[in-house]
A = this chain, B = another copy of it.
Amino acid sequence: MTAQPAAPERRRDPDGTRSEILEVAQQEFARHGYAGARVDEIAARMRTTKRMIYYYFGSKERLYVAVLEKAYAEVREMERAVQVEHLAPVEAIRTLAELAFDHHDLLRDFIKLVTIENVHQAEHIRTSQALTNLGTPVLDLIEAILEAGTASGDFVACLTQGADAIDVHMLISSFCFFRVANQHTFGALFGRDMSAPEHRARLRAMVGDMVVAYVRGSGA
């Protein structure tokens, strides 16, 4: 049905095959976990065969690590696009939190992979140099904002309570991550799907308000 009369099927396409495997494998691992994922199922959902998975990746485990590396790379790409330097500290940290919220909203598969990786105590991430050597651009951003806010007198939390950039990053991430990662058990027990569209705007504002309230220091 798609208009591709010139190339209806290309027989040889290493890059295409490789990236199709990664794409389908990401879905499979995200849906069923590492042990629950089936190499045969990944193969069945591709145009190519299982043999190619082993030809390109060698083993289920190395395929899984490759999926992780690709997913993390995409996230870093997203983070790199964040521009908040032009904003005053309060608005900068709020915007950063809201963007983190948006990112977590989009990257469902990535969040599942991180979740799964934590079940396995991050053993695969730790063995991947490509992952442990990733810089963390967002931390530098937070650090700069905290310094500016402290200097301007808008923020007091970091001074009084000893919270640093990593702590604030965790504060923001935890809210955004939890909303997506735990939506199913939370929904089953409290009867509310935090991840549903009707709650999106309110919770997005909430993470911004929360982090601003915290760094302003009225909780002490």
Contacts and interface: CB of A to CB of B under 8 A. Distances in A.
A151 to B, nearest CB: 19
Contacts of A209: 157, 161, 214, 217, 219-220
A88 interface: no
Contacts of A162: 202
B122 A190 contact: no
Interface in A182-197: 182-190, 192, 194
Contacts of A117: 184-185
Interface residues of A, number: 65
Nearest to A162: B202
B167 A202 contact: yes
Total identical chains: 2
A82 interface: no
A132 B186 CA distance: 11
A37 B126 CA distance: 22
Contacts of A179: 170, 174
Interface of A: 32-36, 112, 114-122, 125-126, 131-132, 134, 136, 139, 157, 161-163, 166-167, 169-171, 173-175, 177-179, 181-190, 192, 194, 202-203, 205-206, 208-214, 216-220
Given A33-B119, A157-B213, A213-B213, 7 more contacts: A33-B33, A114-B185, A115-B119, A116-B119, A122-B187, A131-B189, A166-B192
